[in-house]
Structure 1
């Protein structure tokens, strides 16, 4: 009986180790998300070095963003290695950006206005879902989904689908972009699950 109990405990332990996924965390800015399983991370090593050089405060964190032209890349994830894979690669990109206003309704209107600017960059841009309010980690946020065509380095046209989330926090906001293709590989379910794992600030 004792031997059988030990085997069961070991089996449960193995299940937890197999199912557990790594979590990306940036404690200075207060952002965490579960890492997509078996994806490749391109972490921002320069940012990590800069953050240990100065005293962490809301003012210093905001100043660092300002000195980086208003946006800092926290990290990126690629489903396949960009060095060895041609064509469109499903990608997750997480940036922290300056927040111009504290009022959420005004912030939302700025994101909506910004989302419409995609038409100026991509002639065939269309909204799959227009910008709307959503709650992420207990915070009122904004998201939209669009589709458009872009050309790769080899001139090949790629049909892109992109969803963008803007999550305001303190003196800045997090911009999380999920990109996959309009045809072929569909990462919608995976993206939907990852959004649920985002934790902000004290919820880390």
Structure 2
């Protein structure tokens, strides 16, 4: 190999290493995703810091979820600062939730049943894409897309679109929500790319 080719390879390798996107990873529950570029992270740092201190066993992990009303926020990402930005803020939210016992069909049925609750909170909620089976990190999962109107405290109405992935793993499941606008603020391409970076089970 010529010296110039070797030098070019070293430079490219260095650039790739330098500008690679960061990953969010929670080793205890076994979840990893690439962080969106230049978004603001609002994670559950205190809870996750405490999680690192105790012995990681299935029993302890499930106990922690139970003590937090069946759901733990692992992290959130906001495209804009909620304190200064008016209007829709594209958001990514990752929770780990209690799954309970049963096979995938039972998990699927429980997820379908839970989607009925959306109508209780948003009168105009409707599916853009009905719940379907997809694979995330090699795991059979549930995916659906909905739209609804959200009213702010000052009476503003926001037309919201929400993509939800539910990924069962052990006795819990990961719920990943990608939210943007029905009109404008379309983050479809970025969300689609990030979904492909999800890794479950501390895979390298």
Q: Which category of TM-score, normalised to the shorter sequence, fits these structures?
A: over 0.9
> TM-score normalized by structure 1?
0.94
Once the two structures are TM-superposed, the CA of residue 116 in structure 1 deviates from its matched residue by: 2.3
Query: What CA deviation, in whole Å up to 9, does each residue of 1:10-53 have, x standing for no partner?
Result: 53134303541100000000000000111111121122222133
C-alpha contact (below 8 Å) 2:48/2:74 kept by paired residues: no
In the other structure, the counterpart of 1:24 is 24
CA distance in 2, matches of 1:128, 1:13: 42
Instruction: State the number of aligned residues.
Output: 203
In the other structure, the counterpart of 2:192 is 192
Once the two structures are TM-superposed, the CA of residue 83 in structure 1 deviates from its matched residue by: 1.4
In the other structure, the counterpart of 2:137 is 137
Once the two structures are TM-superposed, the CA of residue 6 in structure 1 deviates from its matched residue by: 6.5
C-alpha contact (below 8 Å) 1:72/1:97 kept by paired residues: yes
Worse overlay, 75-84 or 22-31: 75-84
> TM-score normalized by structure 2?
0.94
Calculate the aligned-residue CA RMSD, in Å: 1.5
CA distance in 2, matches of 1:35, 1:192: 13
In the other structure, the counterpart of 1:72 is 72
| Structure 2 residues not aligned, in runs of 5+ | none
Worse overlay, 89-98 or 101-110: 101-110
In the other structure, the counterpart of 1:85 is 85
C-alpha contact (below 8 Å) 1:41/1:76 kept by paired residues: yes
C-alpha contact (below 8 Å) 2:72/2:96 kept by paired residues: yes
C-alpha contact (below 8 Å) 1:160/1:181 kept by paired residues: yes
**1:152-191 superposed matches below 5 A:** 152-191=152-191
CA distance in 2, matches of 1:42, 1:60: 24
Closer/same/farther in 2, CA of residues 6 and 132 from structure 1, 3 Å limit: closer
| Structure 1 residues not aligned, in runs of 5+ | none
